[in-house]
Amino acid sequence: MTVPYAQQLQAKVADCQHLLSGFDSLKFLPAQASSEQGFRNKAKMVISGTTAQPTIGILDADGHGIDLRNCGVIAPALRSLFPVIENFIKELKLVPYSVPQRKGELKHVILTLSDTGSVMVRWVLRTKKHFVALRDSLPQFLEQLPRHSVVSVNFLPEHKAVLEGEEEIILTRRTTLEFGLNGVPMHLRPQGFFQTNTEIAAALYRQARQWIDDIDPESVWDLYSGVGGFALHCAGEGRAVYGIETSTEAVAAAKTSADSLGLGDTHFVAQDATEFALNAGWAPDAVIVNPPRRGISAELATWLNGSDIQHVIYSSCDAKSLARDLERMENYTPQLARVMDMFPQTDHYEVIVKLERKAS
């Protein structure tokens, strides 16, 4: 964070160019810069300390709380809610969970901010001991939140280093947090994934849409589609689009968005991306992949390489796994790449690459 932002961005581009230096055909477009601070739309805060003096932040190596409510990368609108969270912890006598002692109730509060100004607040509890108090306080809590916000309670009974458990109860009538990126409505459910930098996510989807529109394919698969960002942006008249994602929550949210846009030929399926591709029995004109840090599976890379798909767009948050996957897809020529600075003040970044099948 002490490095000037222009140098940070330059270093990320240099790192990406180095990792992808084995592809002589690859041309880098100008990097997409981010806001330097206040860009993070999600705050995953550990609650520790005491009911009278809670800390909202992270844990040190000994399991004790470090307060991070003034962290500069968190969006100001989220930081403004931390006093509200603290007051409710005190008023409802919520007992923060102690990791060293393995006792207490309130483990985390997870906040997400939409570009519409609404928020999602998720209370993560060890048991249902405080559930009734949180449920009954909902009217007062909502009065202090922006309009159209979503509030839920998640239960994480196990003592392990994860943020949330499987069971979630939504307290509000509204069950999804709506975003409006580039005029495309997108819905996030409590256990769904959304990019943490809304500004760069919007730019990323615009870049993919531009490349897809330039290609103008009749059919597109969006593999690892999440809540449908790429699929929804690339949908169009006379174009069949399929989004494939393992999370049923994300698929349900994507379907809500597609229905609201009246996209009759845009489909979302809850299935493993590799499994879907290998068993579909047909191949589209273009594929978008946006895998987790580990990249796509060796099986999927091999299948893509041996298919007759003409274009692949690969959005990666780890250029090392990207380079490995591109090596496996030797029948494609990487043409264009663009570093998207999703994570300022860190060494991480997103990069999106356009590939075209080599002439046989």
- Quote the DSSP letter at residue 105: S
Cβ neighbours of residue 112 under 8 Å, at least 6 residues apart? 41, 42, 43, 119, 120, 177, 188, 194
User: Any catalytic annotation for residue 317?
Assistant: yes
Distances (CA, A) of 243 to 131, 296, 304, 313: 36, 15, 16, 14
d(C-alpha 112, C-alpha 190), whole Å: 9
Find all residues with CB under 8 Å of 282, minimum gap 6, and list them: none
* 98 phi and psi angles, rounded to 5 deg: -100, 115
Q: Which helix (H) or strand (E) holds 187?
A: strand 184-188
With contact defined as beta carbons under 8 Å apart, do 185 and 179 qualify?
Answer: yes
Q: What count of other Cβ atoms lies within 10 Å of the Cβ of residue 220?
A: 26
For the chain, state the CA radius of gyration: 22
Taking CA atoms, 86 is separated from 44, 89, 90, 144, in Å, by 15, 5, 6, 13
Identified catalytic residue from 16, 71, 234, 317: 317
Of 117, 34, 43, nearest to 85 by C-alpha is 43
Other residues' Cβ atoms within 10 Å of the Cβ of residue 22: 10
- Tell me the three state secondary structure of residue 154: strand
φ and ψ at 352, to 5 degrees?
Answer: -120, 135
Are 163 and 238 contacting, i.e. CB atoms less than 8 angstroms apart? Answer: no
The continuous run of DSSP H or E covering 140 comes out as helix 138-143
Q: How far apart are CA 281 and CA 215, in angstroms?
A: 23
Catalytic residues, which ones?
317
